[in-house]
Amino acid sequence: MGMTMTQKILAAAAGLDKVEAGQLIEADLDLVLGNDITSPVAIHEMEKMTVNTVFDKNKVALVMDHFIPNKDIKSAQHCKCVREFACKHEITNYFDVGEMGIEHALLPEKGLTVAGDVIIGADSHTCTYGALGAFSTGVGSTDMAAGMATGKAWFKVPSAIKFNIVGKPSKWVSGKDVILHIIGMIGVDGALYKSMEFVGEGIHNLSMDDRFTIANMAIEAGGKNGIFPVDDVAMAYMKEHSKRSWKVFEADEDAVYDEEYTIDLSTLRPTVAFPHLPENTKTVDEITEEVKIDQVVIGSCTNGRIDDLRIAAEIFADHKVKKGIRCIVIPATQNIYLQAMEEGLLKIFIEAGAVVSTPTCGPCLGGYMGILAEQERCVSTTNRNFVGRMGHVESEIYLASPAVAAASAVTGKISSPEELEF
């Protein structure tokens, strides 16, 4: 019985020839990640241990991204805690105001995540790096503390689901529509503690930004991780961004999967997740009622990359944000911000009536930069639409792609770009 791609990576990290689903292993870590919300808890836990410092100052990444620049005294105290820890232990990869970005866009951009890595992060969307062929998963702050101290983590080897991606998506269909379609199909617990393994010739029609988006939301289906094969597109990305060597793992032909699905990209339509779960999906063709909105957010660790901004700008170049609609655009990193500025995208957003923010996760988790009031509705390119996620418990969040989000900002209601005139 063969191993899946994920199982091969974990076996190598554990120094074993073979692992199987359900097996408990201790694996070496290539990177341990924390942010300004989760790191202080880990730091306080680590202080209770007998270790004097982190296992490797080059293999810990601390990214201040949720409440940066600080929104209040509490967030300032959190960042001060992490800043002092990073200074004390000479953490190489500490990112603060001026050089920060949203963690799951920043680390690949900085070349800190490559194929074959085993990565844990005290943030549930750490599964993003599977887009590059790494095993990456979210953990609690206590596990982060143990990882920083020892460079190791315990895992139960996950079983897997295979998603065979075929075909080519039509215009206005992106990685966000792919993963929303999958979550709508299998449910928010459809991949519970399983590896979501994406294969097939259709992957060549997905950009790296599409793949990051899909892997990012594996957790929204309950997945332990999401992972893509390492093809020419992934290798080109890593060559551009990283000086590290990487290792390519491939699933065995006789690898065992719990389920297998085929996703034909050519049949997908722009998709929206209605409140209050990511599985509550409808295509734009299935939305029969008029859903008026108050706000649009384009950004986050899911959809704040340059492809996302280009798609939104293509719509805003010919259309304005509807009067009375608040549209917030958030580039995911400083480099993406700069690139968008050099390409003239920021000018397009501002002239269309949107506001552009410094990189932050703020609105996604109801932190700041876009809190919703009672009865307000938001179309967001973020990854969760739980009750109260972005503000008042009686507000509503509709998850969508940057294309649908931008089109909705123009019309003031949930809309497909196909409804607009170009």
pTM metric for this prediction: 0.95
pLDDT 10s digits, 151-209: 999 999 999 999 999 999 999 999 999 999 999 999 999 999 999 999 999 999 999 99
Q: What is the CATH number of the domain that holds 335?
A: 3.30.499.10
Q: Are 103 and 121 in contact (CB under 8 A)?
A: yes
Distances (CA, A) of 241 to 106, 132, 215: 11, 12, 19
Expressed as residue numbers, the domain containing 104 is 5-264
Per-residue confidence at 420, pLDDT binned at 50, 70, 90? confident
> 95 phi and psi, to 5 degrees?
-125, 120
Co-location of 250 and 291 in the same domain: no
pLDDT 10s digits, 237-260: 999 999 999 999 999 999 999 999
Paired with 195 in beta bridges are 160, 225
pLDDT 10s digits, 138-163: 999 999 999 999 999 999 999 999 99
Q: Are 332 and 101 in contact (CB under 8 A)?
A: yes
Instruction: Please report the pLDDT score of residue 422 as a whole number.
Output: 75
Which of 244, 264, 284 represents a domain boundary (last residue)?
264
Which of 264, 296, 317 represents a domain boundary (last residue)?
264
Instruction: Please report the pLDDT score of residue 1 as a whole number.
Output: 82
Distances (CA, A) of 86 to 63, 98, 151, 194, 266: 10, 16, 17, 34, 47
Mean local confidence (pLDDT), 383-398: 94
Co-location of 181 and 253 in the same domain: yes
Average pLDDT, the chain: 96
> 221 phi and psi, to 5 degrees?
-100, 10
Which of 220, 237, 264 represents a domain boundary (last residue)?
264
CA 350, chain centre distance (Å): 25
Judged against a pLDDT cut of 80, whether residue 421 lies above it is answered with no
In the chain, how many domains are there?
2
Which residue spans within 239-372 are E strands per DSSP? 259-264, 271-273, 281-283, 295-298, 326-329, 355-356
Percent of the chain with pLDDT over 70: 100
> 312 phi and psi, to 5 degrees?
-65, -40
Judged against a pLDDT cut of 90, whether residue 286 lies above it is answered with yes
Judged against a pLDDT cut of 90, whether residue 100 lies above it is answered with no
